[in-house]
């Protein structure tokens, strides 16, 4: 099924921006939201230059303002008439080891990556239930598979929660016209990790986003991207002893 009208949160940079570019090339109409309106405006012009036959709607949104999430999603619904796919992408990676004085950074990551994701899923599912159709996509992480230490501790926990939330929705929507997919990206270069120097198997943003969009288009339950090495590496991570996980994180 071709999903013509697509909404992406956290679209002003990184993976959200990269996915928007790929979908524009495919001729999809886009509803893009993020906090930084000036970046959205520049992206809107870039996308229309790539494909002048599409529509690109933009709105400012801080996903931690949960009432605003519903307002913006509903406004995009009015703009487009119908939303075929919503990609819950907005997130952050602040944090540090527990007990080292960075509670509020860890709390901010927990709220944005999980509580605010619930708000986005709630708003998306409200639209899809009314339409009796739609495709909800949540952007999790390969780190959701196992616990992680130090700065990734809370981040990994939030992504595990998001994957579980998505699976619960997927079970609930079985046999209906509403599909739920979860994408687990491996290490893809973006603003969230630009300061991290040593990362195994990392790929550039454009490579990673092409793999993500290809997986999203298949509408499978769970995908691990790029497929090499993460499609098989996930089994290694699931079985790895804690001593190995310590070396990897």
By three-state DSSP, how is residue 240 classified? coil
- Whether the CA torsion 195, 101, 98, 14 is positive or negative: it is negative
- Cβ atoms of residues 10 and 90 within 8 Å: yes
Separation between Cα atoms, residue 231 and residue 229, nearest integer Å: 6
By three-state DSSP, how is residue 200 classified? coil
Residue 190: how many CA atoms within 13 Å on its side-chain side?
Answer: 25
- Cβ atoms of residues 96 and 102 within 8 Å: yes
- Whether the CA torsion 127, 167, 19, 71 is positive or negative: it is positive
Which two structure tokens, joined as six digits, stand for 141?
A: 């992480």
From 102, 104, 155, 224, the catalytic residue: 155
**104 assigned to active site:** no
Q: Which residues contact 191 (CB under 8 A, 6 or more apart)?
A: 13, 14
Tell me whether the omega of the peptide bond preceding residue 226 falls within 30 degrees of 0, making it cis: yes
Which two structure tokens, joined as six digits, stand for 143?
A: 């780190």
Residues designated as active site: 155
């Amino acid at each position: 099924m071709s999903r013509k009208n697509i909404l992406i949160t956290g679209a002003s940079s990184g993976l959200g921006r990269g996915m928007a570019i790929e979908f524009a090339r495919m001729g999809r109409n886009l509803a893009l939201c993020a906090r930084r309106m000036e970046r959205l405006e520049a992206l809107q012009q870039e996308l229309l230059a790539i494909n002048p036959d599409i529509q690109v709607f933009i709105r400012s949104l801080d996903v931690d303002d949960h009432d605003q999430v519903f307002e913006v999603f509903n406004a995009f619904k009015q703009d487009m008439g119908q939303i075929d796919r919503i990609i819950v992408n907005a997130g952050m990676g602040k944090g540090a080891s527990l007990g080292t004085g960075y509670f509020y950074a860890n709390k901010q990551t927990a709220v944005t990556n999980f509580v605010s994701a619930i708000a986005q899923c709630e708003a998306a599912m409200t639209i899809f239930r009314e339409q009796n159709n739609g495709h909800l996509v949540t952007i999790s992480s390969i780190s959701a598979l196992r616990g992680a230490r130090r700065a990734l501790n809370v981040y990994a926990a939030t992504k595990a929660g998001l994957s579980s939330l998505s699976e619960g929705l997927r079970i609930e929507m079985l046999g209906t016209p509403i599909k739920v997919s979860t994408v687990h990206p491996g290490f893809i270069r973006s603003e969230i990790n630009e300061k991290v120097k040593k990362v195994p198997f990392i790929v550039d943003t454009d490579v990673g986003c092409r793999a993500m969009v290809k997986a999203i288009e298949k509408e499978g339950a769970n995908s691990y991207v790029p497929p090499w090495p993460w499609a098989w590496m996930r089994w290694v991570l699931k079985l790895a002893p804690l001593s190995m996980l310590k070396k990897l994180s």
